[in-house]
Amino acid sequence: MLLEKKDIRGLSRTEIEDFLAGIGEKKFRATQIYEWVWKKGAASFDEMSNISKPLRDKLSENFLFANVKCVYSVASVDGTRKFLFETSDGCKFEGVLIPSADRVTACISTQIGCQMGCAFCATGQLGFKRNLTSGEIFHQVFLLNAMSAEIFGTPLSNIVIMGMGEPLMNYENTLAAIEKICSEQSMGMSPQRITMSTCGIAPQIKRLADDGIRFNLSISLHSAIDAKRNQIMPINRKYNLAELSDAIAYFHAKTGTRITYEYLMLGGVNDSLDDARALTEFTKVSPCKINIIEYNPHPNDTFKRTNSETLENFIRHIEACNIVVTIRKSKGLDIDAACGQLANKKK
């Protein structure tokens, strides 16, 4: 029986070193291979020009490149670019480049589809197919970085893990990809320029703290009232607000990191002053910032945007509680690239 080849992008440096030792190769070859795969972005073993052909052949016999490719892209009037990627087994997912005056941010995906089923999110309507591997997540970022340099004349400055999927349901692969992205022998991005967003998988938030992560954490909260959050975010039925609050307190105690809360304003659903009071009470658990997001409609939904007066009253209450609050301006609305709109749809 033939053993299935592993994607070389999914290996750690130690695994490469162990493989080379097992075939009698010198340890320095691991550095050369690592740089080809994760710094230069090789897509085949034949590109490794300073590696002998016998060793390239041996690598090819045991490993493969599970390459991700861009099959479609579209530009927004505001400069945002959305990309449809395809994996080697034909699955599709999306990534977004968001330019601003002094930076380019990549919004990346960690799963194909999503199993969280949030009522307001187009991705959730796709259902869930599978996790992206660590190699696929990394290759997505590598390609977006190259496209940022080509289109905007600058590499990525920030990454937000807010695309398709719930990253904490793909924990090991997501963290392995981040480790490669931040490695000085790879892209060398500071973890402080990376933000992971989660809908609130409480045990995994504690695990992040125990693992000593150095990137930023954002909580997709959207309601601080259990009955409402149960309706719009089914995960709350498994990990309610009390459990989430406990996990956030634990995370802050161990990391000292300030949490960001994402709060999507849904007209007539979660935008009353009672909702604002519940939100400010919930966020007392640790230092925080609140990002208010105006709703981005998508086909077949039942939600609407909050009107401007209600929005202003909501924000005024938060400010009165001395909490930092901003309105996050969504980009890419016209190409379905804004928050909650990623659904593998060409436009």
Q: Per residue in 154-173, pLDDT tens?
A: 999 999 999 999 999 999 99
Is 94 designated active site?
yes
107, 114, 199, 339: which is the annotated catalytic residue?
A: 339
For residue 18, give its domain range: 6-64
CA distances from 71 to 51, 142, 299 (A): 31, 16, 23
The kind and range of the H/E element at 263 are strand 259-265
For all residues of the chain together, what is the average pLDDT? Answer: 93
Average pLDDT over residues 82-105: 95
- Domain containing residue 215: CATH number: 3.20.20.70
Per-residue pLDDT at 4: 80
| Better-scored residue on pLDDT, 335 or 131 | 131
pLDDT beyond 70 at 332: no
User: Are 22 and 113 in the same domain?
Assistant: no
Per-residue pLDDT at 296: 80
Helix (H, G, I), strand (E, B) or coil at 336: coil
Spatial distance between the Cα atoms of 105 and 297, rounded to a whole number of angstroms: 23
User: Are 214 and 298 in the same domain?
Assistant: yes
CB atoms within 10 A of CB 286: 17
State pLDDT tens for residues 179-217: 999 999 899 999 999 999 999 999 999 999 999 999 999
Give the pLDDT band (50/70/90) at residue 334.
low
Number of domains composing the chain: 2
Spatial distance between the Cα atoms of 172 and 152, rounded to a whole number of angstroms: 32
State pLDDT tens for residues 14-70: 999 999 999 999 989 999 999 999 999 999 999 999 999 999 999 999 999 999 999
Instruction: Identify the domain boundary among 14, 35, 64.
Output: 64
Is 339 designated active site?
yes
Helix (H, G, I), strand (E, B) or coil at 298: coil
pLDDT beyond 90 at 337: no
pLDDT beyond 60 at 254: yes
Cβ contacts of residue 154 below 8 Å, gap of 6+?
104, 148
User: Are 13 and 136 in the same domain?
Assistant: no
| Better-scored residue on pLDDT, 2 or 24 | 24
17, 94, 136, 294: which is the annotated catalytic residue?
A: 94
